[in-house]
Amino acid sequence: MSNRKTILITGGAGYIGVHCIVSLVKAGYKPIVVDNLYNATSDALKAVEAIIGEQVQFYNLDVLDKEALAKVFQENEIFAVVHMAALKAVGESCAMPLKYYHVNVSGTIILMEVMREANVKNLVMSSSATVYGTPQYLPIDEKHPVGGCTNPYGKTKLFMEEIMQDVYASDKEWNIIVLRYFNPIGSHESGTIGEDPKGIPNNLAPYISQVAVGLREQLSVFGDDYDTPDGTGVRDYIHVMDLAEGHSCAVKKITEKPGLKIYNLGTGQGYSVLQLLKAFEKATEKNIPYKVCPRRAGDIAAGYADPKLAEEEMGWKAEKGIDDMCTDMWRWQSKNPNGYSS
């Protein structure tokens, strides 16, 4: 136990962060968390501690606070950082672009400065398939051009990636793994940690889940006239525990000193809005009402990954299917109808 490598997870109290903690502990790492609880609660950390059977060292601080962040590196022998702390609401990013650039981009710069000063140059970054913009071909592999993001949130992820590429070009001691997530959904199988959006969910899966549990009346399906099999948008939904495993594989890969690598984390399988809805109805044995509405601005018709590279180079592959995603998501939502405050 004592010679476990320490992994700092920024944003580690968030939805994906707590699931990563489970995976990292299982893989033999010691997680520590920096989070300012902007979009999370300490209850999430308590819940994950119950799953892993140990306490997680937690620093309640803002990644923009350079001094406080530097202290975390002085107090711990950190092997690698998994950088998840970010703001992620697409609509809000259009209303508050400066806030998004500040937290996501300046936050990354400050973190990397602190890391360089502490001589910790191993970094795994949460990026997003949104950096590919409107797909030019499917499935999307890592060679697909990036750019053309339709909102500031997406641009922050692209800028974060570019900053990392420039830093790596200037100093080859860095090892950086950029993980481009497709659409993470679901929960740990215990149903004790999960996605707990504040206010009205922006994303499809938590919205469906809240309709099923009775918090919302019906789902609005944003467009049924796309060039897809049933006319609704197609995405590559990936179980959050598979995604979390991708981080453990990335941290392991870092020990090989890989330089800078970029990997898609997706299943390679696309599902439409209505297919996800049906899968969720099957998992919940409930009828989930919906109405078709106009398209949402900035949405693409279809996007799914070619995830082969992550398998070839990190030995990672998504194992769970759409039914597991829906069953696990429902276990969390039905046990915790109001999230962590239930």
Summarize as ranges the residues that interact with ligand NAD (CB under 6 A). 11, 13-17, 34-40, 62-64, 84-88, 103, 107, 126, 128, 181, 183-184
DSSP secondary structure letters along 167-204: HHHH-TT-EEEEEEE-EEE---TTSSS----SSS--SH
The encoded tokens of residue 145 equal 């051009």
204 binds, among ligand WQD, ligand NAD, none (CB under 5 to 8 A by kind): ligand WQD
- The 10 Å CB-count burial string (b at 16+, else e) for 23-38 is bbbebebbbbbbbbee
159 binds, among ligand WQD, ligand NAD, none (CB under 5 to 8 A by kind): none
Of 99 and 296, nearer to ligand WQD (C-beta) is 296
- Which residue has the closest beta carbon to ligand WQD? 233
Q: Are 127 and 180 in contact (CB under 8 A)?
A: yes
180 binding ligand WQD? (CB under 6 A): no
Of 121 and 180, nearer to ligand NAD (C-beta) is 180
In angstroms, rounded to a whole number, what is the distance separating the alpha carbons of residues 149 and 31? Answer: 33
188 binding ligand WQD? (CB under 6 A): no
Q: Is 237 a catalytic residue?
A: no
Of 18 and 221, nearer to ligand NAD (C-beta) is 18
Span 274-303, contacts to ligand WQD by CB under 6 A: 296, 299
289 backbone dihedrals φ, ψ, rounded to 5°? -70, 145
| C-alpha distances out from residue 204 to 64, 120, 265, Å | 30, 37, 19
In angstroms, rounded to a whole number, what is the distance separating the alpha carbons of residues 37 and 223? Answer: 34
18 binds, among ligand WQD, ligand NAD, none (CB under 5 to 8 A by kind): none
Query: Which residue do the tokens 């030019």 mark?
Result: 136
* Residue 246 CB, nearest approach to ligand WQD (Å): 15
Which part of the chain contacts ligand WQD (CB under 6 A), choosing from 66-74, 202-210, 245-253, 305-313? 202-210
Closest CA to 273 of 305, 299, 255, 249: 299
Of 58 and 222, nearer to ligand WQD (C-beta) is 222
6 binds, among ligand NAD, ligand WQD, none (CB under 5 to 8 A by kind): none
| C-alpha distances out from residue 2 to 23, 25, 255, Å | 18, 13, 18
Span 39-98, contacts to ligand WQD by CB under 6 A: 88, 90
* Residue 6 CB, nearest approach to ligand NAD (Å): 18
* Residue 156 CB, nearest approach to ligand NAD (Å): 8
126 binds, among ligand NAD, ligand WQD, none (CB under 5 to 8 A by kind): ligand NAD
Q: What do you get for the CA distance between the two ends of the chain, in Å?
A: 34
Q: Is the dihedral of CA 261, 245, 301, 214 positive or negative?
A: negative
Span 138-167, contacts to ligand WQD by CB under 6 A: 154
Of 126 and 275, nearer to ligand NAD (C-beta) is 126
220 binding ligand WQD? (CB under 6 A): yes
206 binds, among ligand NAD, ligand WQD, none (CB under 5 to 8 A by kind): none
Catalytic residue among 153, 181, 207, 263: 153
In angstroms, rounded to a whole number, what is the distance separating the alpha carbons of residues 25 and 29? Answer: 5
Strand partners, 221: 292
Closest CA to 84 of 255, 251, 204: 251
In angstroms, rounded to a whole number, what is the distance separating the alpha carbons of residues 232 and 237? Answer: 14
Which residues belong to the active site? 153
Residues that bind ligand WQD (CB under 6 A): 88, 90, 128, 130, 154, 183, 202-204, 207, 219-222, 233, 235, 273, 296, 299
